[in-house]
Amino acid sequence: MFKKLNFSLKHIPDFNKLKGIKITSFGEHPFPILSYYSVKDYEYLKTFLPDNLKYLPFDQLMVAEIIDSNIGHLDPHIDHGVTTVFNYYLETCDAVTHFYELKEGEFGYNYQGRETANIYDFNQVIKTGSFTARNNEAYILDVSKIHSVESIRAGTRQFIQWQWNNMQFEQVHKLLNLL
C-alpha cells in the first residue's frame, strides 16, 4: 500500500527549475488539479540526487503538483498504466493520502477518455490506511490500489515521482533497499 523510506536529497531543489512541459492533468477548478510535468533539467536533477539513486531503473520520471485553492479531495482512484511510484515530497501542504478497498458488489467508473474504470465514489470504498507526508520525505506507493489525496489546507503540493508500469510494490521496495 505505502511505505515511508529513509531517504534524503543532497539539497532541496527549486521545483520551478525541474518543472518542464505539462504532460497531463486531472481535475478542474474549484476541485484539486493534479498535473504531471516532464523534468526540464536533468543536469540540475543530478546535482541533488544521492549517487546511488542516479542509477535507479524506472519507467518514467516526472515532477507533479496538486493545486488546490480550496480544501478539497482528489477522488478515490487507481492510476492508469502505473503500478508503483516513489514520491519525494518537496511541499506537502499537510495533505493526507488515503488507501481503500472496494466494497463488495461495487464498480468504478471511467475517467473521461479512458476505457478502464478507475474512479470511485467515497460511498463505494472502505478506508484501509492513510499517511501524511511531510516536506522532504519519501514514500513508495502501490498506485494499483485505490487511493485519494485530501487537502487539509489550500496550497500546492509538489513532488518528484519515479514510476514503474509493471513492477510491483514489493519489487520496487526491494530495489530501493538495495541501493
CA 21, 114, 155, 12 dihedral sign is: negative
**Across-strand partners of 156?**
67
For cell 524506472, the residue is: 58
Residue 95, classified by CB atoms within 10 Å of its CB into exposed (0-12), middle (13-18) or buried (19+), is buried
Residue 153's domain comprises: 2-178
Give 10-residue mean pLDDT values along the chain (179 residues).
93 96 90 95 94 89 92 90 96 96 91 78 97 97 96 94 97 88
pLDDT of residue 98: 98
Cα separation, 129 vs 98, whole angstroms: 6
Q: Which candidate, 24, 20, 74, places its Cα nearest to that of 42? A: 20
pLDDT of residue 54: 83
Residues in the chain: 179
Domain harbouring 109, CATH code: 2.60.120.10
Contact 25, 33 (CB under 8 A): yes
Domain count, the chain: 1
pLDDT of residue 121: 94
Cα separation, 179 vs 177, whole angstroms: 6
